[in-house]
Chain A
Amino acid sequence: MTEAVSNFEAPPMSRRVLLNALLSGSVGVVVVGALYPVVKYFIPPSAGGGGEGLIAQDALGKPISVSELLATHAATDRVLAQGLKGDPTYIVIDNGAVANYGLNAVCTHLGCVVPWNVGENLFKCPCHGSQYAANGKVIRGPAPRSLELVSATVDGDNVRFSPWQGPDFRET
C-alpha cells in the first residue's frame, strides 16, 4: 500500500500556489489587455487645442464685426459672444473700444450664464444671486471665484479670443 501512496503523492502546496499565481497573472494581463481599448473607446476624443485662438461669433455663429459692434453699443457695455470651447463669453467694451480681455459668462458657482446688469454696472447671476463687478471680480457669493478671463485681441474687423496668459490683474 505504501508504494501506491508514494506514486500518487499530491503536488505540495507551494507548487499549487506558484501555479495559481502564474495563472491569475496571465489571465489578468489578457483581461486588462482586452478592457483597455474598450475603456478608451468610451472616453470622448479631445476636440484638439486651437493654439492661435478663435474668432468671436454671434448667437447664429457668424463672426462679429467690431465696427458694427462699437456703432450699436454704448461706450461701456458687455456683449455675449461664442468663445473658446463654445462657452458664452462677454466682449468687454470700455471707453468705446474693445478691451484686451473678455469674460467667460459661466458662473463659477454652478454654471449659469451670468447676465450683465446695465443699471447697476454688475453681473448678477439669476440662479443663486452671485454678483461680479464690471471686470468680472466676484463681490458676492455663493460663487467661489471671479469670472474666468480670456484674452481678446482685435484681428482686422473681428475679435479673436485666446486663453488668458499671465496673472489675473483683478487680484488685489
Chain B
Amino acid sequence: MKRIGLVFCALLLLLGMGARPAAAYPYYAQMAYDNPREATGKIVCANCHLNAMPTRAEVPQAVTPGQVFTIKVGIPYDLSKQQVLADGSKGGLNVGAVVVLPEGFRLATEAEMTEEQRQETAETYITPYSDAKPNILLVGPLPGEQHQEIVFPVVAPDPKEDPSVAFMKYRVYIGANRGRGQLNPDGSLSNNNVFRAPATGRLVNIATLDSDISDLPAELASLVPPEYELPGTRVLSFESESGIHNLVVPPGPELVVAVGDSVKEGDPVTNNPNVGGFGQVERDLVLQSPDRVKWLVAFLAAITITQVLLVLKKKQVELIQAAEILG
C-alpha cells in the first residue's frame, strides 16, 4: 500500500512539473492494455519503443514452494550516450522493466525479503500490473546510470496451499527498455524519431520557432500541434508538383537537409536521435518439489550400489573361473 502510494506521488510529481514524459513508462502499458503480453508473445512496450536493444535476465533454474528468490533484469547501454529530451536538450536515459511471472508467483513483501534484497530494492518502486494480475511486475522509470540491473524479489507459490498451482517448468517473460519512446499514448509521435519528407520536391523554407508561436506566419502556426509548441521547433516547407507541403519537426532531431535540396517522399530529413531501445527475453523456471529431489537421490544411490555389486559379483565369478582352469 505504501509502495503504491509512493508510485502515485512520483507520478503526480512528474506530471505536475509540466515536463512531458521523459523516459520509459510502464504505466502507459498498464493504462492501455489488460495484459502486457500479446498472444504472439510480443510485450506491448514494443508498440511504442520501436528500437531493439538487448535485455539480460538472471532467473534461478529451480525454486522450492514458498521460497523468496531474486530475478535480476539487466538493461545495458552505453552510459556515455545521451538522448534528446522532450524540449530538445540532451539528458540521461531512464530504464523500466516488466516481468511476467507464472500464475501464483507474486512480489515479496517487505517483511519476506532478505536484508540483501531490501537494500537492492530500496530505490525501486515495483508494483503489480493490476489487482487481477499480481504475477506481473512493473518497475520504472528509474535513472539508468544507477540501475543497469534491476532486482525483483519474488515469492514462489505452494501447491499444497493453492491447488491451482502445480510443480512444473514455467516460463518467465521479461521485457526491459531504456530511453524515451517513439509514440505517445495518444498516438502522436514524440520528438525521439526520424522525420521524413511528406512529398517529393524541393525544400524551399525552414521557419523556426524562437520562443513564441507568434513568430510564425499564421498559416504555419496553425500547423504546429500544441505539444510541439517549443522553442526550436522547425516547420519545413517542400514545394512539389501538387503544391506546398509542410512538415513540423520538433526540437531534438537534427536536420540533414538544407534549403534548396531536393528530396523524395519518405526520405529522412533528420538524423535518428534515438539511442535507447526495448528488448525482451524468456527464461525457464522450475517450481520443484523437494520430495521429488529426495526420492531421485535415493533412487540414484540404489542404482549406484547395484552397479557396484554387479561388478563385485563379476570379480567373484572371475575368481571361480580362474580356479576351475588352473586348479
Contacts and interface: CB of A to CB of B under 8 A. Distances in A.
A, B from the same assembly: yes
B326 A8 contact: yes
B303 A30 contact: yes
Given A4-B326, A26-B309, A19 B302 contact: no
A7 B298 CA distance: 40
B122 interface: no
Contacts of A15: 316
B249 to A, nearest CB: 66
A57 B309 CA distance: 62
Contacts of A26: 302, 305-306, 309
B310 interface: yes
B323 A23 contact: no
Contacts of B81: none
Contact of A10 (B298, B299, B313, B323): B323
A10 B327 contact: yes
B316 A11 contact: yes
A8 B303 contact: no
Interface in B275-316: 298-299, 302-303, 305-306, 309-310, 312-313, 316
Contacts of B322: 8
Chain B interface category by residue count: 10 to 19
Contact of A11 (B306, B310, B320): B320
Contacts of A172: none
B324 A20 contact: no
Interface in B167-219: none
Interface string A8-37: 111100011001101100110110011000
Contact of A27 (B306, B319, B324, B327): B306
A4 B323 CA distance: 9
A60 interface: no
Contacts, number: 49
A10 B315 CA distance: 11
Q: Is the interface of A mostly helix, strand, loop or mixed?
A: helix
A5 interface: yes
B309 A19 contact: yes
Residue of A20, A26, A27 contacting most chain B CB atoms (<10 Å): A26
Contacts of B323: 8-10
B258 to A, nearest CB: 76
B46 to A, nearest CB: 42
Q: Is the interface of B mostly helix, strand, loop or mixed?
A: helix
A5 B320 CA distance: 12
A26 B302 CA distance: 7
Nearest to A20: B313
Nearest to A29: B302
Interface in A94-124: none
A19 B54 CA distance: 60
Contacts of B316: 11, 15-16, 19
Nearest to A26: B306
A89 to B, nearest CB: 28
Contacts of A29: 302, 306
A4 B305 CA distance: 34
A62 B298 CA distance: 50
A26 B307 CA distance: 9
Nearest to A18: B316
Nearest to A33: B299
Nearest to B308: A26
A30 B306 contact: yes
Nearest to A23: B309
Contacts of B327: 4-5, 8-10
Interface of A: 4-5, 7-11, 15-16, 19-20, 22-23, 26-27, 29-30, 33-34
25 contacts: A4-B326, A4-B327, A5-B326, A7-B326, A8-B319, A8-B322, A8-B323, A8-B327, A9-B323, A9-B327, A10-B320, A10-B323, A11-B316, A11-B319, A16-B316, A22-B309, A23-B306, A23-B309, A23-B312, A23-B313, A26-B302, A29-B306, A30-B302, A33-B299, A33-B302
The 10 closest A-B pairs by CB, nearest first: A10-B323, A26-B306, A8-B323, A8-B326, A23-B309, A10-B320, A29-B302, A5-B327, A8-B322, A30-B302
Interface of B: 298-299, 302-303, 305-306, 309-310, 312-313, 316, 319-320, 322-324, 326-327
Given A16-B316, A22-B309, A27-B306, 9 more contacts: A4-B327, A8-B322, A8-B323, A8-B327, A9-B323, A10-B327, A19-B313, A23-B306, A26-B309
